[in-house]
A and B are shown apart, each in its own frame.
Chain A
Amino acid sequence: MKRRDFLKQTTFASGMFFVPQFLKAFEQLPVKTFSHKKVVIIQLKGGNDGLNTVVPFNNDIYYQQRNNIAIKQNDVFKISDEVGLHKSLKPLEDLYNKGFVSIINNVGYPNPNLSHFRSTDIWQTASDSNEYLQNGWVGRYLDYTKGNPYAAIEVDESLSLMMKGKTQNGLAITDPKMFYNSMRAPFFNNVVTNYNEAHLSEHNLGYLYNTMIDAKSSAKHIYEKSNTKSTSVEYPKNIFGKQLNTISQFINSGLETQVYYAGLSGFDTHANQAGTQERLLKVYAESMEVFINDLQKNNTFEDVLILTFSEFGRRVKQNESKGTDHGTANNVFVMGKNLKKQGLYNNLPNLGDLDKNGNLKYEIDFREIYATILDKWLQVDDVAILNKSFSKLNFV
């Protein structure tokens, strides 16, 4: 049969006039926004070596422990008498000098888990290290605010645990137009207009139907809204640059999304770390520079807070493969326009005081950062979302 005939037939056969009540109600749901602020979360996946990113270039222990991978004084740009940033981060220098960057050191959690997957889960769910949560902190933010799925967007092809709540999920999307077009296919319409709502609570089948309905309802809105704005700035030609470009397009078009999540992977440097990290930090910094300048140009930077984390840092002592093994506490970068504390937020790690495995001890629980963002920036009840009370920091 010819393709066109086939599509025609199945479209007509599908009972197009029946629009389910649930779907209608969903589409008319007002967007309940608590604050117009936005958060962009970036994960350096694989455990970025924080010590070779924010470099203590006057520290003898640092050079003793890392005799052939330590970053030399000449290979940093200095931000204080003791601290320099890896030369690959040079594109951030101007932003740093303007006070748009705050570096929080020694961030971790009690009883750290050195597994990528578990530690990523811990960061994404905001759980204790011996607690296994099936939903992420951004997902619970969606639950709490009863946000649309597009209130949180991960610019990737699949959705991370961070974006999954108990009742609401965020959306994974790489290209709004494509997303929209694929939803307009007759087949999709066919299925989405015929289901019976009574079954939507059923285990996996209900999950499949609900995901389908959410996708359909969101795609149109995102496409139509974001289509009004095109980028005038040139982003680096790599996937990370493309992800940030998509996020800026969403933000600059006024899309109601409050949380964005993107990632850059490849930081698991057990062997021959230097070249890999240099390359990746460069990709990171170049894209961030363009991104922030793009937001500034569109007067949206003021409402955006950018958080960069990695699931853990690396061990202080290098291994003999010119790499580093999994470690614990690490630095976190916060970027924004009106930061309360600019530059170094706190002291660098004490390399003379390590735990029994030779790892850094943490000073700030990563959930204090989340609590601060939820409370002071997004203005919601952080305790309800994090299930616990954490003290707040003063970077915003």
Chain B
Amino acid sequence: MKSAHIQHLYNRVGFGIIPKELARLSKKSKKNVVNELFTSSKKTTILSVDTSFLKGISFKDAKDKNKRRELQKISRKKVQELSTAWFERLNNPSEILREKMTLFWANHFVCENKNILFVQSYNNMLRENALGDFRNFTKSVSKEAAMLSYLNNKQNKKKSPNENFARELMELFTLGQDHYTEQDIKESARSFTGYNHNFKGQFNFKQGQHDDEEKIFFGKLGHFKGDDIVDIILEKKQCARFISEKIYSYFVNESINNNHVDEMVEVFYKDYDIENLMRFVLLSNWFYADENIGTKIKSPIEFLVGINTIVPYKIEKPRQVLLLQRLLGQILLSPPNVAGWKTGRNWIDSNTIVTRLRLPSVLLNNAEIAYSEIGDEETMITDFKKRKLRRKAFIKVSADWSSFEENYKKESNKELVHQIITSKINSGTEEMLERNQQLSKRDFVVQLMSLPEYQLC
């Protein structure tokens, strides 16, 4: 397989590739390279943090106001810990494709919660289903405690339907706007009544709160429950199209090629098997077309983890991992709203471009970074007075330069350019790089990563 194509593949299903791996894979056929990706992502490694603080705690304890407040405080900290652990995982994944897909689904089945048990369960549910059956996946999503509470489905009861989940299920998770009516939303909401969870976050169906009367959903009549609604939605080819378009825009190109998506829909609609769909995409010729290579704007996480692939680094204070994500506009486990992060050019504005271009030197050369204090709703009201308005920080990082030296020992500065950058290069910038050939390899690679071109993959 061609090196440039392997690089492209690994940029999209991972976060780049080191020269040794590239050399090894370039001896293989495309089919074998793609096969290897799936094989190495066969199993699922669960991500978890220590939640023993909840041991022996019962629903009763949580009723006590002070006790509850204390638990919530610990829980929020634990969610941040999980967020950092996730970032760590992305930097050192054993199942690359599965982890990248998990990241993708986290921006599809978007959810946020403050309860660590719920968040952890949800995150691993995404991971387990990332390459599985979309039908089961969607049903699982509807039954997770984190989602039941995020979109108010646990408040959705027979006598008082709450439409929040029903609406987003169709608008954001399965069909897209304008493919259902307000009536469909109402009937769907009725079908999901009675969904609830227990204190530990396990799904709990409350028959007494379920509206078991007949409903008419997409012209079908029946005593539907939530799972039936998912089944009926999936009968619509639009669902296969909606998901295919989203995968195409994430993994291939934000500008949709309808012919390519049509092919994907045919594959996906058959069995809603995500692995089959991904295999089809990664084996197709169009995936490797020039117009798709080096043209996608990296998400903040792709950017941060991509740097790590080249020069492994570790941010010493977990809080600063979150700070960096915030400055770039994507905090893991903390999406802006149920529609998730807007991608592509939306990642880049006057602020984020500056931060991004400076970041390699901040991370790898202990430069200083400035930022403004802006908190979430909660910190905004309660903690603001207590918090210092810090404006500058040194990000404490240990960079593993020896790994870099070892991995790239055979490459000259000139060769380094094409190892690091897969997009076209502005000719003025190319001339500048030409003039800077005499820089040490370390300085040169930092400079490469500080270019607008490095924002693309």
Given contacts A212-B452, A320-B160, contact A195 B443 (CB under 8 A): no
Q: Decide if A187 is an interface residue (CB 8 Å cutoff).
A: yes
Segment among B43-51, B213-221, B373-381 that sits at the interface with chain A: B373-381
Given contacts A6-B361, A174-B372, A179-B351, contact A357 B182 (CB under 8 A): yes
Q: Decide if A10 is an interface residue (CB 8 Å cutoff).
A: yes
Contact in complex: A9, B353 (CB < 8 Å): no
Q: Decide if B370 is an interface residue (CB 8 Å cutoff).
A: yes
Given contacts A196-B427, A203-B295, A321-B155, contact A183 B432 (CB under 8 A): no
A195 to B348 Cα, complex, angstroms: 18
Q: Which residue in B164, B354, B357, B428 is a CB contact (below 8 Å) of A194?
A: B428
Q: Decide if B26 is an interface residue (CB 8 Å cutoff).
A: no
Considering only residues 41-72 of chain B, those with a C-beta below 8 Å from chain A are none
In the complex, residue of chain B having the shortest beta-carbon distance to the beta carbon of A114: B167
Most buried by B among A115, A198, A205, A240: A205
Q: Decide if A270 is an interface residue (CB 8 Å cutoff).
A: yes
Q: Decide if A191 is an interface residue (CB 8 Å cutoff).
A: yes
Contact in complex: B384, A238 (CB < 8 Å): yes
Q: Decide if B366 is an interface residue (CB 8 Å cutoff).
A: yes
Given contacts A1-B442, A3-B367, A321-B152, contact A118 B177 (CB under 8 A): yes
Give how many A residues have a beta carbon under 8 Å from the other chain's beta carbons.
74
A15 to B430 Cα, complex, angstroms: 13
Considering only residues 335-370 of chain B, those with a C-beta below 8 Å from chain A are 337-339, 344-346, 348-355, 357-358, 361, 365-367, 369-370
What chain B residues lie within 8 Å of A194 (beta carbons)? 428-429, 431-432
Q: Decide if A97 is an interface residue (CB 8 Å cutoff).
A: no
Contact in complex: B162, A158 (CB < 8 Å): no
A26 to B394 Cα, complex, angstroms: 34
A211 to B357 Cα, complex, angstroms: 12
* 0/1 interface trace, chain B 289-318, chain A, CB 8 Å (1 if under): 000000111000000000000000000000
Contact in complex: B152, A271 (CB < 8 Å): yes
Most buried by B among A7, A10, A173, A208: A208
A204 to B353 Cα, complex, angstroms: 13
In the complex, residue of chain B having the shortest beta-carbon distance to the beta carbon of A240: B380
Q: Decide if A353 is an interface residue (CB 8 Å cutoff).
A: no
Q: Which residue in A157, A182, A183, A279 is a CB contact (below 8 Å) of B329?
A: A157
What chain A residues lie within 8 Å of B352 (beta carbons)? 157-158
What chain B residues lie within 8 Å of A10 (beta carbons)? 439, 443, 447
What chain B residues lie within 8 Å of A14 (beta carbons)? 432
Contact in complex: B353, A215 (CB < 8 Å): yes
Q: Decide if A266 is an interface residue (CB 8 Å cutoff).
A: yes
A52 to B6 Cα, complex, angstroms: 58
In the complex, residue of chain B having the shortest beta-carbon distance to the beta carbon of A266: B377
Q: Decide if B245 is an interface residue (CB 8 Å cutoff).
A: no
Contact in complex: A279, B381 (CB < 8 Å): yes
Q: Closest CB-CB distance, A24 to chain B, in whole Å?
A: 15
Q: Decide if A92 is an interface residue (CB 8 Å cutoff).
A: no
What chain B residues lie within 8 Å of A115 (beta carbons)? 167, 171, 177
Most buried by A among B161, B326, B367: B367
Most buried by A among B152, B326, B440: B152
Considering only residues 406-457 of chain B, those with a C-beta below 8 Å from chain A are 423-424, 426-429, 431-432, 435-436, 439-440, 442-443, 446-447, 450-453, 455-456
What chain B residues lie within 8 Å of A113 (beta carbons)? 177
Q: Decide if A178 is an interface residue (CB 8 Å cutoff).
A: yes
Considering only residues 125-167 of chain B, those with a C-beta below 8 Å from chain A are 152, 155, 157, 159-164, 167
* 0/1 interface trace, chain B 234-267, chain A, CB 8 Å (1 if under): 0000000000000000000000000000000000
A179 to B163 Cα, complex, angstroms: 42
A7 to B365 Cα, complex, angstroms: 9
Considering only residues 213-246 of chain A, those with a C-beta below 8 Å from chain B are 214-215, 218-219, 237-240
Q: Decide if B388 is an interface residue (CB 8 Å cutoff).
A: no
In the complex, residue of chain A having the shortest beta-carbon distance to the beta carbon of B161: A319
Q: Which residue in B366, B428, B440 is a CB contact (below 8 Å) of A196?
A: B428
Q: Decide if B371 is an interface residue (CB 8 Å cutoff).
A: yes
A194 to B339 Cα, complex, angstroms: 38
Q: Decide if B20 is an interface residue (CB 8 Å cutoff).
A: no
* 0/1 interface trace, chain A 304-336, chain B, CB 8 Å (1 if under): 000000000000000111010110000000000
A215 to B380 Cα, complex, angstroms: 28
Contact in complex: B351, A157 (CB < 8 Å): yes
What chain B residues lie within 8 Å of A130 (beta carbons)? 178
Q: Decide if B385 is an interface residue (CB 8 Å cutoff).
A: yes
Given contacts A191-B450, A239-B375, A319-B155, contact A205 B443 (CB under 8 A): no
Q: Decide if A79 is an interface residue (CB 8 Å cutoff).
A: no
Contact in complex: A319, B162 (CB < 8 Å): yes
Q: Closest CB-CB distance, A5 to chain B, in whole Å?
A: 10
What chain A residues lie within 8 Å of B446 (beta carbons)? 6
Contact in complex: B370, A182 (CB < 8 Å): yes
Q: Closest CB-CB distance, A352 to chain B, in whole Å?
A: 21
Contact in complex: A320, B159 (CB < 8 Å): yes
Q: Decide if A283 is an interface residue (CB 8 Å cutoff).
A: yes
Q: Decide if B391 is an interface residue (CB 8 Å cutoff).
A: yes
Q: Closest CB-CB distance, A6 to chain B, in whole Å?
A: 5
Contact in complex: A174, B374 (CB < 8 Å): yes
Contact in complex: B353, A13 (CB < 8 Å): no
Given contacts A130-B178, A204-B345, contact A237 B159 (CB under 8 A): no
Q: Closest CB-CB distance, B175 to chain A, in whole Å?
A: 12
Can you add 8 more A-B contacts, CB < 8 Å, to A157-B352, A204-B296, A208-B452? A3-B366, A117-B337, A191-B451, A196-B428, A237-B384, A270-B152, A271-B152, A325-B163
Q: Which 3 A-B pairs have the closest CB atoms?
A: A320-B160, A196-B428, A215-B350
28 A-B interface contacts by CB (under 8 A): A3-B365, A15-B432, A117-B337, A156-B374, A157-B326, A157-B352, A159-B349, A172-B349, A172-B351, A173-B351, A174-B372, A182-B369, A187-B358, A188-B354, A188-B358, A205-B423, A208-B348, A209-B452, A211-B353, A212-B452, A238-B381, A239-B380, A239-B384, A270-B155, A270-B164, A271-B155, A320-B155, A320-B160
